[in-house]
Structure 1
Amino acid sequence: MECQRRWIWFSSAWLLILGVFASRETEAAHHKHVGQFTAVGSPNSVLELSAINFIDDIELGYYRNINQQRIIKIPWVIKVVGIDYITQMHKLLVDHEQTLHWMMYHLGKNDTNRNRNHTGQLLADCEIDNDIKIKSHIHLIWNGEEYCRIDEEIGHWEYLKPEGKKFQGVLESPLWTNLRKHYMNEYCVDLMRKIVGYKNLKDNVPPEVTVSRHVNPKGSTILSCTATGFYPRSILLHWEKDGKLGVWGKETSSGTLPNMDNTFYLQVTLELPPEDSGMSYTCVVEHIELKTPAVYPVPEKPTREKPWALALGIVLAVILLLSCTGAFRAWKKRKSAYATYPVSAS
């Protein structure tokens, strides 16, 4: 019972963290809230405790137990959630270091070296689209390996490591199940909705779009449409021929990926059969900052690309040049040494 109570308190403290930070993407539909809670220590003590939150890949704030440091990077979030709530969360984090010590003890107690440090993580995420919850997950990670996880839509825990089974009784108990659902809905989803609807975290940025066409060694024509530097994340790219939608070849997508500056990137390619030259195609891009769909035609001339053999040849030439330079310097050094210290005749 004591074990279950400690685990519930630990979990509730972490899930409350999710509610402290959140953000606004734009009027666009899709938003994702991710929180990561990390503890580093041994079965004897917790050395470091930290929590960090992101919404739509933008860092909102973090907590570190060193000097009980709490940083909120988006100041207006305090106004949205209220200072009392943030104070409550801060107190919970401080109070629950003992709970983390308990977790470290039980997961690391079989280690022959009791002073060895370990890393325990709880990762939680949720997503909404058009204000409707679509995904929600919790992951428990130990030393970089996922021990157990749950997809809220499926509703049951997966135990990926035998060691994760030791928490099965707690994780699947009615009390923990109700708490998990409550905290994920209230502090991950509902609070995200509240702050997303309050203010933009970042100014909207339209995509920079490039369209290319080239022929691969098999004779197929490859069309590529790349959108980058855009914010918010929601974007649509599709191909049209003579202004009409259709299926003309094999289409692949990179998926929407984050850039280093918190903007996003997406590339969609279309591989056409050899008899299709790729003319009369356009890439149509829809994004909130474009107001209306933008049409980008495929260039008439194929995009010039260096053949792989040429690129390989350049690399080999550079290696050869460096090797020759090194050999020449070594020869010159030996020659100089002989000149300085001549060998006497016997």
Structure 2
Amino acid sequence: MECQRRRRWFPSAWLLILGVFAFRMTQAVHHKHVGQFTAVGTTYSLLELSGISFIDDIEIVSYNTIQQQTFFKIPWTPKAVGVNYITEMRDLLVYHEQHVRWVMHYLAKNDTNHNRNHTGQLLADCEIDNDIKIKSHVHLIWDGEEYYRIEEEDGQWENLKPEFKKYQYVLDSPFWTDIRKRYMNKYCVDMMKKIIGYKSLKDNAPPEVTVSRHVNQGGSIILSCTARDFYPQSILLRWEKDGKLGIWGKETSSGILPNMDNTFYLQVTLELSPDDSGRGYTCVVEHIALKTPAVYPVPEKPTMEKPWDLALGIVLAVILLLSCAGAFIAWRKRKAGMHVIRER
């Protein structure tokens, strides 16, 4: 009987270990490139065409029709892509202005007010892991509403607004299909590879990690591991018990979120079953800015609220009290002034 248990456990344990190992390897080299192009115009004119792109949520390059120039936000990125690449990209944007004018006219032609401004947007993104493209998408938006999107690997446009269904033959045409595929590979994937292969976009920053323990209303123990202010975004947070990997409860994640300073945030929580004491758990963090995996033990007792939370509440209460006192004093002065005027 014991032998059978070991046989069942052995492949499951190895799958778990291999899965974590594979996740660790791929996370270390994950990057994402997002491009957004926005056109503003009327039925008969294109007022503005602008574009902006981000790699790992850091702004890289922008373009607008006024200067008809590409502006790189990081000084060394033009060297990474090369002068010929930049010239070709600018010339293509200028060339495609006529196509954008045609699209604006075609979509806005039924508007009775020909002077009304309309906005068309194209959002494109691609992701790579270990220098290999894993996914890419294109979204088409008109006046703030998405009407088409496509996952490149699937190759089928999804129509989200029935009134735009009649335009799908244009998107499916060999001409635009070829352009979409070539541009996504060259100006999304290849451009990203050139830049991240040349130099790091930002100095590596290790995560600031906090681990907490709470008890919910149902009596279950909730463990939270939070990593803040790290760069680049690739990171691995995992739970261990007594130094061992396993599936210990219901795990949820916030997903990796960007901060205003181009660093990132991630929180992973673990809800344990009521019969689990919550002892012996640690949060293990792996990041390129850390020399070795960092281990953070879970507190034995429920985590108290942070002092600054209490301090903030006190400050707000004092401000409210002073505001009320100030308003009362001002009211008394006005009342006293009116009384003096009446006596005169």
TM-score w.r.t. length of structure 2 = 0.83
Does residue 339 (structure 1) correspond to residue 336 (structure 2)? The answer is: no
Mapping of 1:73-152 within 5 angstroms? Answer: 73-152=73-152
State the one-letter code of the partner of 1:337.
Answer: M
User: Which residue is 1:183 aligned to?
Assistant: 183
Deviation at 1:223, TM superposition (A): 1.4
Spell out the pairing of 1:1-346 with structure 2 (5 A cutoff): 28-305=28-305, 322=323, 326-327=327-328, 329-342=330-343
1:266 to 1:93, Cα distance in 2 relative to 1, 3 A: same
**1:74-115 deviations in Å (ceiling 9; x for gaps):** 333323332122122222322332322211111112222211
DSSP 3-state at the match of 2:67: helix
Counting matched residue pairs gives 318
Per-residue CA distance 1:292-320 (angstroms, 9 max, x = gap): 211001123422128x9xx9999789767
Aligned partners of 2:27 and 2:234 also within 8 Å: no
Q: Which amino acid in 1 is paired with 2:267?
A: Q
Greater mean deviation of Cα atoms: 264-273 or 85-94:
85-94
How many Å apart are 1:281 and its aligned residue? 1.1
Structure 1 residue aligned with 2:12: none
Q: In percent, how many aligned pairs have the same letter?
A: 68
- The Cα shift of 1:126 comes to 0.7
Q: Give 2:132's aligned amino acid.
A: I
- Indicate conservation of the 8 Å contact 2:62/2:70, yes or no: yes
Give deviations 1:135-191, integer Å, cap 9, x for gaps: 111111111111101111211001111343242111112332233222222332233
SS of the equivalent of 1:288 reads coil
* Contact kept? 2:214, 2:222, Cα under 8 Å: yes
User: Aligned equivalents of 1:318 and 1:264: distance in 2?
Assistant: 33
Distance in 2 of aligned mates of 1:324 and 1:76: 57
Contact 2:250/2:271, CA 8 A, preserved across alignment: yes
Q: 1:214 to 1:116 in 2, by over 3 A?
A: same
Counterparts in 2 of 1:314 and 1:67: CA distance versus 1, 3 Å = closer
Kept after mapping to 1: 8 A contact 2:127/2:136: yes
CA shift digits 1:312-332 (9 cap, x unpaired): 999789767755753564354
Partners in 2 of 1:169 and 1:88 — Cα distance? 29
In structure 1, distance between residues paired with 2:294 and 2:317:
43
- Secondary structure (helix, strand or coil) at the match of 1:164 reads helix
Q: What's the CA shift string for 1:54-75, capped at 9, x where partnerless?
A: 1111111111112324311233
- Structure-2 separation of matches of 1:85 and 1:339: 80
- Mapped partners of 2:296, 2:37: distance in 1: 44
Alignment deviations for residues 175-227 of structure 1 (CA, whole Å, 9 cap, x no partner): 32233222222332233223322221112111111111222333332211111
Deviation for aligned residue 1:261: 1.2
Q: Partner letter of residue 75 of structure 2?
A: P
Q: Give the equivalent residue in structure 2 for 1:7.
A: none
CA distance in 1, matches of 2:40, 2:185: 28
Deviation at 1:283, TM superposition (A): 0.5
Rounded Cα–Cα distance in structure 2 between residues aligned with 1:177 and 1:144: 24
Relative to structure 1, the CA distance from residue 235 to residue 27 in structure 2 (aligned partners, 3 Å threshold; closer, same or farther) is: closer
Superposed CA RMSD: 2.9
3-state SS of 1:67 partner = coil
Letter in 2 for 1:248: W
The CA distance in 2 between the partners of 1:192 and 1:67, in whole Å, is 24
Which has the larger displacement, 270-279 or 141-150?
270-279
Q: In structure 1, how many angstroms separate the alpha carbons of the residues matched to 2:106 and 2:302?
A: 62
Comparing 146-155 and 265-274, the one that deviates more: 265-274
Unaligned residue ranges in structure 2 (runs of 5+): 1-25
Q: Which amino acid aligns with 1:240?
A: E
Q: Could you tell me which amino acid in structure 2 is paired with residue 72 of structure 1?
A: F
Q: CA deviation at 1:265?
A: 0.8
CA distance in 1, matches of 2:88, 2:55: 21
